[in-house]
A and B are shown apart, each in its own frame.
Chain A
Amino acid sequence: MGDKVVVAMSGGVDSSVAAALLVEQGYDVVGVMMRLWAEELPAPALRASAAGGDAPEAARQTNKCCAPEAVYDAQWVADRLGIPFYVISVEQPFKTQVVDLFVAEYAAGRTPNPCLVCNRQIRFGYLLDYARRLGARYLATGHYARIRRDDQGRFQLWRGADRNKDQSYVLSVLGQDDLAQTLFPVGELTKPQVRRLAAERGLPTASRAESQDLCFVADGDYRGFLLRQAPDMARPGPILDRSGRMLGTHRGLPFYTVGQRSGLGVAATRPLYVLELDRERNALIVGTAEQLGKCRLRTGPAWWVAGEPPSGPFEAEVQIRYRATPAPAVVTPTADGGTVVSFTAALRDITPGQAAVFYVGDRCLGGGVIAEAWD
C-alpha cells in the first residue's frame, strides 16, 4: 500500500472526490471529520430565529461543519470507498484558538476572518499534527488550490484551476512544512469536473454550503453571537464625521463594518459610509464614498509561503477579502516583519482584521492581517 493519507471529509462533493481520487491513486486513505465547538442556544431562542422547520433540538449544539447529517454522509462515502472513517474531537482547541480570538478581534474593533485562523491553527495545525500521530504522511482536503514545487524543490501555493472556486486566500497561511505534508486532490479540477467524477462514482454530488463561514454561530447571526459571548460589547457611542462633528449614536462597534452604508440611522444629504471603527474613543467614524477610498494599508506580521519575505518591494495583485477582486499594488516588506501595500487605485472596503493576500499571477506568496489603511 502507498503512503498513509488522512483526508478531512465533510460529506460534500469536493472532499468525497478528493478521497476517491486518493484511493484510486493507491494511497492508504483514512477519512476524518473534526467535531468543532458550537454555540449552545436554548431551544426557544433558536426556534424564534430559525427559518424553516429545522428541529431545534438537533440544531442546538451542532457546528454546521459536523452536523449529524454531515457525519452520516461522510460515513456513507467512506464505506463506499472502503476506507476507515473517524470523527475526532476538536471542540476545545477550536474554541480557544478560533472562537475566542474571533470574539476578541471584534472587541478590538477589527473584522476577523476565522476561516483563515482555523486553517492555520486547526486544520493544518491540530489536524495535521493529529494525522502525523496516526502515522500518516499527508493530510488531504477538498480545497480548490494547487501545490507545486520550484526548481530548488521549494513548495508553492497556487490558485485552484477553477478560478471561481479558488480557496487559496484562506490557505495562504500555509508554510513550507505544511505544504510538504498536504495534498489538494481536486485543485487541478473545475467544479463541474469534480461533480462529474462524483456522479461517475456514485458519490454525493451536492456541495456542503459553499462557505461554512461562522460555522460555530448557532443561528448564523454573528452580531447576536457576539452579544451573547461578550455582552459588554454593545456599548453605544458617538457617530462622528472626519471633522469630529457628532452625527448620532451607534449601538456598539461590533455591529458595524468598514464600508457599510445602511443602518447608520443618520440623516444626511449624501450617503454616508462607515470609514473606521475607533476603538479608543468607542466612536464610529463615517464619511462619503470618496472618503472611504484608501490607497495604502499596513499589515501586522506577514506570513510567507516561501518561509521568508521577498528581498524588497514587489509588484503583486492583492486580495483584501476572501472573494474580493485582486487589485494591483506594490508590496513592501517592512523591517518589523509586516508589509505596506500601495494600491494603484483607491479601494473602498479595506477592513482591519481581514487578511491582505499577495499573488503574482496565480501564485500565492503569503499575506498579513490588515492593521490600518490610509489615503
Chain B
Amino acid sequence: MIIYLDHSATTPVDPRVVEAMAPFWTEIYGNPSSIYGLGRRAAAAMEDGRRRIARILNCGPTEIVFTGCGTESDNLALRGVALAAAARGKRHLVTTPIEHHAVLHTANDLAEHYDFEVTLVPVDRYGQVDPDAVAAAIRPDTALVSVMMANNEVGTLQPIAEIAARARARGVPFHTDAVQAGGHLPLDVEALQVDLVSLSAHKFYGPKGVGLLYVRRGVRLLPVQTGGGQERGRRSGTENVPYIVGMATALELAHAERETESQRLRLLRDRLIQGLMAQIPDLILTGHPTQRLPGHVSLLVPGAEAEALLIALDMAGIAASSGSACATGSPTPSHVLTAMGYSPQEAMSALRLTLGRANSEADVDYVIEKLAEIVPRVRGRR
C-alpha cells in the first residue's frame, strides 16, 4: 500500500478517461487526415475533444493546438511567438526566474542562438511576481511575456489576470504555463485575458504524452515542427487521437469536480501543514501561505537532506519529492527556492507533498506521524 503524495509530478489516469480512450486503439484507429469513414470518425472524435476543451477554456476550438506534452507547449509558445516577432525586429523576452525549465531553458536557447535578450522579473519571498515590475520590464522590442500560473515546486499562484492586463496594455502577447494549474484553477482565457496557455494532460488525471497550447486568434506563431500541416499548420504530425480524447475527458471531469475537490484538498493541505508544524520543530512553509495550489505543501526541513527524507519516506510507503521531478537525478539546489531568497543549503532540504484525489484524512495523519518519526532521525545528532 503506497500513499502517493506527488500529484504535482504526475497523476494516475482516471478510469473514466481510460474508458473514453478505449475505442481509439483498435476500433477507430484511422488517421484523422484520411478520407474514409475510419479516419473521419477519428477526426470527429478529436474535434469533439477540441470543442469540449474549448468550452472549458472559453475559446474557439481552432485556437487550441494539440501537442505532445507541457514542455512542447511551452517551447511552441516561446519559440513560435519569439521567432515570428524576431522577423519584425523584436528580440526581447520577459519572464521570471521561477519558471519551469521548459520555459527558462527555451528562453536561454533563444538568447544564445537567436540574439534574444531575456529579462527575468524577480519574485518575492513567496515566489510572487509584481505585475507592475513586469510592466516596467516591457520594452518596445518585447516579443513575449511569459509567467507561469502556478509554480510546480512551491505551489504559489501568480496574479495572472493583472499581469496579462499590463502586457495587453502594451500590446505584447502574454503566455502562461498553466501545467500545474490545469484541473485546479479556472482557465477562462477571456476572464484572464491571456494569449497563450500551456496545459499537460497527465497533471489532471489524463494520460502522459499529450498536452495543448491555447493560441489566441491573431497571435503570430511560427511553427516549431513542420510537415504535413496538421493543427492548422502550427504543429505537424499525425494527431494522437486516443490521448487527445483522453485529455478532453480528463479536463472535463476535473473541471466538473473542480470546486468540491479543490475545497477538499485545501482542507487536507491545511491539516497536513498544521499537523507537521505542530509535530516537527523548525519547519518552514515555502511559497505563499494562502495563494497556493489546493493540494500543494512545500517545506524546508532545515538540518535534513531532502534525499534522505525521500528515501526514508519511501521505506515507509510514502511517495514524495523534493520539488521537481528532474531527469538527471543529481541534486542541485532548486532555482525556484534560490530565486525566492533561500540559501542553496536551505534549498537542499526541500520537501514537496502534493495531495490528490485518492488521498484521505487518514493518509494525511499517517504522513504526519511518519514524518515526525523520520525527520529527527534524518537530522541526526549533529
Chain A residues in the interface with B (C-beta under 8 A): 30, 35, 84, 86-89, 91, 129-130, 132-135
B309's closest neighbor in chain A, by CB?
A133
Mark B residues whose CB is within 8 Å of A: 307-308, 311-312, 314-315, 329-331, 377-380
In-complex Cβ contact of B312 among A87, A89, A129, A133 (8 A): A133
**Which residue of B is nearest A4, CB measured?**
B315
Q: Which residues of B contact A89 (CB under 8 A)?
A: 307, 330-331
Query: Are B380 and A134 touching (Cβ within 8 A)?
Result: no
Instruction: Given A30-B315, A84-B314, A84-B315, answer yes or no on A134-B329 (Cβ-Cβ < 8 Å).
Output: no
In the assembled complex, which residues on chain B have CB atoms less than 8 Å from the CB atom of A133? Answer: 308, 312, 377-380
A135 touches which of B307, B329, B331, B377 (Cβ 8 Å) = B377
B331: chain A residues within 8 A (beta carbon):
89
Residue of A nearest to B310 (CB): A86
Chain B hits for A84, CB < 8 A: 314-315
- A-B contacts besides A132-B380, A133-B380, A135-B312, 17 pairs, CB < 8 Å: A84-B315, A86-B311, A86-B314, A87-B329, A88-B311, A89-B330, A129-B380, A130-B308, A132-B377, A133-B312, A134-B308, A134-B312, A134-B315, A134-B377, A134-B378, A135-B315, A135-B377
User: Which B residues touch A132, using CB under 8 A?
Assistant: 377, 380
Q: How far is the CA of A87 from the CA of B311 in the complex (A)?
A: 10
CA distance A129 to B377 in the complex (A): 11
In whole Å, how far is B310's beta carbon from the nearest beta carbon of chain A?
A: 9
6 smallest beta-carbon distances between A and B, as pairs: A133-B378, A86-B311, A89-B331, A133-B308, A134-B312, A133-B380
* Contacts A/B (CB < 8 Å), 13 sampled: A30-B315, A84-B315, A87-B329, A88-B308, A89-B330, A132-B377, A132-B380, A133-B308, A133-B380, A134-B308, A134-B315, A135-B315, A135-B377
Residues of A within 8 A of B311 (CB): 86, 88, 134
Max chain A CB contacts within 10 Å: which of B307, B311, B329, B377?
A: B311
B304 closest partner in A (C-beta): A133
A282 to chain B, nearest CB (A): 39
How many residue-residue contacts, CB under 8 A, span A and B?
Answer: 34
List B contacts of A91 (CB < 8 A).
330
For the complex, would chain A's binding face be called helix, strand, loop or mixed by DSSP majority? mixed
Residue on A nearest B382 in the bound complex, by CB: A129
From A30, which residue of chain B is reached at the shortest CB distance? B315
The dominant DSSP class at the B interface is helix
Nearest to A132 among chain B residues (CB) is B380
Give the Cβ gap from B263 to chain A, nearest Cβ, in Å.
36
Q: How far is the CB of B173 from chain A (nearest CB, A)?
A: 38
Q: Which residue of B lies closest to A136 (CB)?
A: B315
A132–B314 Cα distance when bound, in Å, is: 16
For B376, the closest partner residue in chain A by CB is: A133
Chain A proximity of B312: nearest CB distance (Å): 5
Q: What separation, in Å, do the CA atoms of A143 and B377 have in the docked complex? A: 28
B275 to chain A, nearest CB (A): 21
CB of A36 to closest CB in B, whole Å: 12
Residues in A neighbouring B379, C-beta threshold 8 A: 133
Assembled-state Cα–Cα distance A134/B274 (Å): 25
Q: Taking the nearest CB of chain A, how far is it from the CB of B318, in angstroms? A: 13
Shortest C-beta distance, B126 to chain A (Å), equals 29
Q: Which of B307, B314, B315, B378 contacts A88 (CB 8 A)?
A: B307
Which residues does chain A contribute within 8 Å of B377, judged by CB atoms?
132-135
CB distance from A298 to the nearest CB of B (A): 35
List residues of chain B with CB within 8 A of the CB of A134. Answer: 308, 311-312, 315, 377-378
CA distance A178 to B209 in the complex (A): 49
Count chain B CB atoms within 10 A of each CB in A86, A87, A133, A134 and give the residue with the most: A133
User: How far is it, in angstroms, between the C-alpha of A91 and the C-alpha of B331 when the chains are bound?
Assistant: 10
Taking CB atoms, residues of chain B closer than 8 Å to A86 are 311, 314
CA distance A86 to B331 in the complex (A): 14
> A128 to nearest B CB, angstroms?
12
B378 to chain A, nearest CB (A): 5
Which A residue sits closest to B316, measured CB to CB? A135
**A35 engages B330 (CB within 8 Å):** yes
Q: In the complex, what residue of chain B is closest to A90 when comparing beta carbons? A: B307
Please name all residues of chain B whose beta carbon is closer than 8 Å to the beta carbon of A87 when the two chains form the complex. 329
- In the complex, what's the smallest C-beta–C-beta distance from B374 to chain A, in angstroms? 8
Q: B315 — which chain A residues lie within 8 A by C-beta?
A: 30, 84, 134-135
Q: How far is the CA of A133 from the CA of B314 in the complex (A)?
A: 14
Question: In the assembled complex, which residues on chain A have CB atoms less than 8 Å from the CB atom of B378?
Answer: 133-134
A273 to chain B, nearest CB (A): 44
Tell me the smallest distance from the CB of A240 to a CB of chain B, in Å: 47
Name B312's closest neighbour in chain A (CB-CB).
A134
Q: Which residue of A lies closest to B374 (CB)?
A: A135
What residue in chain B is nearest A32 (Cβ atoms)? Answer: B311
- Residues in A with CB closer than 8 Å to B312 are 133-135
A135 to B309, CA, bound (A): 11
In the complex, what's the smallest C-beta–C-beta distance from B68 to chain A, in angstroms?
24
Q: Measured between C-beta atoms, what is the minimum distance from B345 to chain A in Å?
A: 11
